[in-house]
Structure 1
Amino acid sequence: MTTPASITPSIIETLYEDALLLADEARASFDLDDSYGSGGEEDSVARVAMSCEALRTTTRMMHAIAWLLNQKAFFAGEISEFQLRQHGRLPPAQPQPAQEELALLPPYISDLVDRSIQFYSRVERLDRAWRQRFESQPAAVRRLRERLGYAFGR
């Protein structure tokens, strides 16, 4: 099994730029206009679905951007590793959209929602890999202490 690549400033910077572009696209795409026509019941349901997905998608992207900004601050030396571990957690993902609600939305919106979910999943994988490094550390520290105790205990 190969070890995961470590997070580097260039990876964070690239993801940050991608996140800003996707967030800007989401903002522009979710600007509601009068494209839903007559205002009947089906149009109202579609507007509610659009509002729900707009909120989920923008929240998802803002959480990812906040996580990336914390990583950038760490690499710039503005916060310590301890501060990053304490306050740089990625919040849990937003709920998956209901397929019947997505069906009410234009295809470009459904695609945008899907891309934002995929982006967040990428960031989640990085966060999880970074945090696992610390969860496995106590075992390594314990083994080192055991070896030192054995070496000096003779």
Structure 2
Amino acid sequence: MALMPNLNPRIIEALYAEALVLSEEVRAVFDRLRQGHDRRTLVGANDDPDADLVHVQVSCEALRSTTRIMHCLAWLLNHRAYFAGELSELQLRRHGRLIANFPLSDPVQVLALPADAQRCVQDSERLYARIQRLERAWRGDAETSGSAIERLRHRLAAAI
């Protein structure tokens, strides 16, 4: 396994468990908001005649947060498969990429959410940033080791 030394199955499993718990929490919080049980706590929901706009903003934030977590889970599942021997390193490098510039949530819209929803959004952004740092370090490690052709040339030169 040519992965960076800091990336191991225990780290991947811990992050995977954290992402699963967070995904369930985000789903529950935003479902409650969407169903209207907590709409009265949204800033301006009672005063603003345009409550539909607030509802759309909540839905958009729910989608952003959920998508962010699902990207993390996909990356983690690919790495779990690699450590389980179900994917080769080449397959992982080819298909196990994390989207580099996933958009952050609008801070103004996040502040309009109840405290538990704000925390969920912030937790999803922190999780994504952690996975993104792992991805960059892992990809950077491969780039510094050279391409497959360069490694083959070095092995051939050493054999001769």
The answer to whether TM tops 0.5 is yes
The residue number in structure 1 matching 2:39 is 36
One-letter code aligned to 1:15: L
Matches within 5 A, 1:19-30: 19-30=19-30
One-letter code aligned to 1:25: E
Query: Secondary structure of 1:138's match?
Result: coil
Shift of 1:44: 2.0
Moved over 4 A (4+): 37-40
One-letter code aligned to 1:9: P
Query: Secondary structure of 2:39's match?
Result: coil
Out of 81, 87, 101, the residue aligned to residue 79 of structure 1 is 87
One-letter code aligned to 2:116: Y
Q: CA RMSD in A?
A: 2.6
One-letter code aligned to 1:69: L
Shift of 1:136: 0.4
1:62 aligns with 2:65: no
Cα shift readout 1:15-48 (whole Å, capped 9, x = no counterpart): 0000000000011111012232569534222211
In 2, Cα distance between equivalents of 1:46 and 1:62: 24
Out of 83, 89, 102, the residue aligned to residue 94 of structure 1 is 102
One-letter code aligned to 2:104: Q
One-letter code aligned to 1:71: H
Identity over aligned pairs, percent: 42
One-letter code aligned to 1:26: V
In 2, Cα distance between equivalents of 1:120 and 1:93: 11
Q: How many residues align?
A: 147
Matches within 5 A, 1:43-58: 43-58=51-66
8 Å CA contact 1:19, 1:64 repeated in 2: yes
Query: Unaligned regions of 5+ residues in structure 2, if any?
Result: 41-45
8 Å CA contact 1:60, 1:94 repeated in 2: yes
TM norm structure 2:
0.80
The residue number in structure 1 matching 2:43 is none
